[in-house]
């Protein structure tokens, strides 16, 4: 299985615009957003979550937090395992839910670490991987974030790629391995949160782009707060991603209408990469492969 398909295979969640959005990414024990229904759906798998990454403070992305934290204190599992909650700096709704949780859930047997996060902040993950926050484009005058998991890798410098093995060994012996190699960053998973289309530079060559695709038709968008399916397909094509996952579709569309709409744009832009949809009206937990 290719790396991009493996990443999609490890993602599960729920997403429907205005109702709830959350994704669990098992390899790094991350929850991306925490909309309603996380603990009800995941049950004792919630103990696998080490880190919650919140994109912004709209209710459909944070309302599962009280249930998650309360279930982790009392259901079957490691009730002493700490949880980290990262959220956009100075988000007023998160400050309110923080106070609500403090007052209603009170003392829990585990540590809750709340941390504000800003664009460019990085968190180390295992191996050579790290997580980086970036600014998304959702609410005027309020910071909203997207997150990407990236990996530092080494490769042979372009100028040495056609040189025979024997000569390379001689160069390594005389000048050291650093002479012939360079480090580069590979984006693995890029999550937009709720957003207008992200910049091409942010998502460039990601293995998987997980992007807001609220609208099928541009005329349905009243404010510049969410992306259209067409915009995201154009972005995925221009930035050379390996697989695309669409989420946050509006419940105004019928399922068949969505599938046909997506297929029409895939044909228009001659997209050949795997494309997935999470439209939780009908398939609540896993992405459906469209192409």
- Grouping H, G, I as helix, E, B as strand and the rest as coil, residue 192 is coil
Least distance from Zn ion to the Cβ atom of residue 248, Å = 6
Q: Which is nearer to Zn ion, 61 or 72 (CB)?
A: 61
| Residue 60 binds Zn ion, judged by CB under 5 A | yes
Q: Show contacts with Zn ion in window 187-206 (CB under 5 A).
A: 194
Least separation in angstroms between residue 20's CB and Zn ion is 9
Q: Which residues contact 62 (CB under 8 A, 6 or more apart)?
A: 33, 34, 35, 54, 93, 94, 97
Q: Helices 229-238 and 255-268, interaxial angle, to 10°?
A: 40
| CA distance linking residue 173 with residue 233, whole number of Å | 47
Residues 161-180 that bind Zn ion (CB under 5 A): none
Among 58, 72, 137, 148, which residue interacts with Zn ion (rule: CB under 5 A)? 58
Residue 255 CB neighbour total at 10 angstroms? 14
Structure-token pair, residue 158: 């372009």
Query: To the nearest whole angstrom, how small is the minimum distance from the Cβ of residue 89 to Zn ion?
Result: 17
Q: How far is the CB of 3 from Zn ion (least distance, A)?
A: 28
Q: Which residue, 36 or 60, has its beta carbon nearer to Zn ion?
A: 60
Q: Judged by CB under 5 A, how many residues of this single chain contact Zn ion?
A: 3
Longest dimension (CA), the chain: 68
- Rg of the chain taking only CA atoms, in angstroms: 21
Q: How far is the CB of 16 from Zn ion (least distance, A)?
A: 9
Element (H, E) at 101: helix 92-104
- Residues 254 to 283: which contact Zn ion by CB under 5 A? none
Residue 153 CA to residue 43 CA, distance in Å, equals 36
Among residues 48 and 67, whose Cβ is nearest to Zn ion? 67
Q: In whole angstroms, how close is the CB of 138 to Zn ion at the nearest point?
A: 6
User: Residues, the chain, total?
Assistant: 291
Q: Of 60 and 132, which has the nearer Cβ to Zn ion?
A: 60
By C-beta, is 47 or 253 nearer to Zn ion? Answer: 253
Taking the least distance from each CB to Zn ion, the nearer of 194 and 230 is 194
Query: Site residues (CB under 5 A) for Zn ion?
Result: 58, 60, 194
């Amino acid at each position: 299985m290719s790396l991009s398909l493996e990443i999609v295979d490890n993602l599960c969640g729920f997403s429907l615009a205005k109702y709830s959005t959350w994704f669990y990414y098992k390899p790094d024990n991350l929850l991306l957003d925490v909309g309603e229904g996380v603990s009800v759906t995941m049950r004792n798998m919630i103990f696998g979550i080490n880190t919650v990454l919140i994109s912004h403070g709209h209710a459909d992305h944070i309302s599962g937090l009280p249930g998650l934290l309360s279930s982790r204190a009392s259901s079957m599992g490691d009730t002493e395992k700490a949880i980290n909650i990262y959220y956009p700096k100075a988000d007023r709704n998160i400050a309110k839910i923080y106070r609500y949780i403090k007052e209603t859930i009170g003392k829990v047997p585990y540590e809750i670490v709340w941390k504000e996060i800003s664009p460019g902040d990085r968190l180390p993950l295992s191996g050579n991987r790290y997580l980086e926050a970036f600014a998304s484009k959702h609410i005027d005058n309020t910071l909203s974030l997207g997150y990407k998991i990236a990996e530092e890798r080494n490769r042979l410098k372009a100028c040495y790629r056609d040189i025979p093995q024997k000569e390379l060994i001689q160069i390594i012996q005389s000048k050291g391995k650093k002479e012939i190699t360079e480090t580069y960053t590979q984006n693995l998973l890029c999550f937009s949160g709720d957003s207008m289309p992200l910049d091409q530079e942010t998502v460039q060559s990601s293995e998987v782009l997980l992007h807001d695709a609220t609208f099928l038709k541009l005329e349905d968008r009243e404010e510049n707060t969410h992306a259209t399916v067409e915009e995201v397909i154009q972005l995925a094509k221009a930035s050379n991603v390996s697989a695309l996952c669409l989420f946050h579709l509006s419940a105004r569309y019928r399922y068949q209408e969505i599938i046909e709409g997506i297929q029409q744009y895939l044909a228009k832009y001659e997209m050949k990469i795997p494309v997935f949809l999470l439209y939780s009206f009908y398939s609540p937990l896993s992405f459906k492969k469209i192409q």
